[in-house]
Amino acid sequence: MLAVRARLIVLASGAGTLLQALLDAQTDPAYPAEVVAVLSDRPDAAALGRAGRHGVPVDVVALPDFADREAWDRELGEKAAAHRPDLVVLAGFMKILSREFLHRFPGQVINTHPGLLPAFPGAHAVRDALNAGVSVTGASVIWVDEGIDTGEVIAHVEVSLLAADDEDSLHERIKVVEREMLVRVIAELVGEQNYSTSNPGA
């Protein structure tokens, strides 16, 4: 019997190297999850090209195209739900999702963040860690709740700072271990569930 792979939707705003790690992982038939769609709030996100090259459907839901944030968020939820995700993965998605969006996917939304949460939440975690003078920072995968990077931590990975680090070099080194962590954590999470019941048609 063929194993049913968990259905991932990835939300990404930027370069999409975390997405790429998942796309690469799923070329192994033994990997227990696959990206079934990529959604972005930015039409110029390089993540969209990465998805396209792997034959993964993409959609852009850009805030300026909507009358207000509620309408944008609702459309994002509609687009995501249409792909029947088991997990919604925020991988460099630089917008806050509403309570309504999260209630639509209870216990199914994870985020990866370039800092050791609960330290340094928000959009500038790498810069904030550098400015604070810490010797160790890292990355976290969390369950998304209604706060900004306040959800339960699923996994951490540490990265030591080097004397020569600037924000870009440190972020690049964090992303190397962050990618490995995301691929591993998703495999572990979906391994704990039985997706054949949530996706009988998959």
Beta carbons within 8 Å of 42's beta carbon, 6+ residues apart? 13, 14, 60, 62
- Are 15 and 88 in contact by the 8 Å Cβ rule? The answer is no
Q: Which of 54, 83, 113, 171 is catalytic?
A: 113
Query: Does the footprint of ligand GAR cover residue 112 (CB under 6 A)?
Result: yes
Binding mask 21-60 for ligand GAR (x = CB under 6 A): ----------------------------------------
Query: Token pair for residue 182?
Result: 């995301």
**C-alpha–C-alpha distance, residues 135 and 109, integer Å:** 30
Q: Side chain identity at 134, as an amino acid letter?
A: V
Nearest to ligand GAR of 15, 154 (CB atom): 15
Nearest to ligand GAR of 181, 195 (CB atom): 181
Kindly state the number of chain residues that form the binding site for ligand GAR, as judged by CB under 6 A: 16
Give the residue, chosen from 35, 37, 91, 181, that forms a contact with ligand GAR under the rule CB under 6 A.
Answer: 91
Query: Does the footprint of ligand GAR cover residue 113 (CB under 6 A)?
Result: yes
Nearest to ligand GAR of 8, 91 (CB atom): 91
Give the residue, chosen from 4, 15, 58, 177, that forms a contact with ligand GAR under the rule CB under 6 A.
Answer: 15
Taking the complex as a whole, the smallest distance from the CB of residue 131 to ligand GAR amounts, in Å, to 16
> Does residue 54 have an active-site annotation?
no
Give the residue, chosen from 32, 92, 138, 151, that forms a contact with ligand GAR under the rule CB under 6 A.
Answer: 92
Query: Residue 10, SS3?
Result: strand
Query: Residue 47, SS3?
Result: helix
- Are 34 and 12 in contact by the 8 Å Cβ rule? The answer is no
Query: Token pair for residue 178?
Result: 């962050």
Query: Does the footprint of ligand GAR cover residue 16 (CB under 6 A)?
Result: yes
Query: What are 59's strand-pairing partners?
Result: 39
Query: Token pair for residue 119?
Result: 């330290």
Considering Cα of 149, then 153, then 159, then 161, what sign does the dihedral take?
positive
Query: Does the footprint of ligand GAR cover residue 137 (CB under 6 A)?
Result: no
The footprint of ligand GAR (CB under 6 A) covers: 14-19, 91-92, 94, 112-114, 123, 125, 175, 178
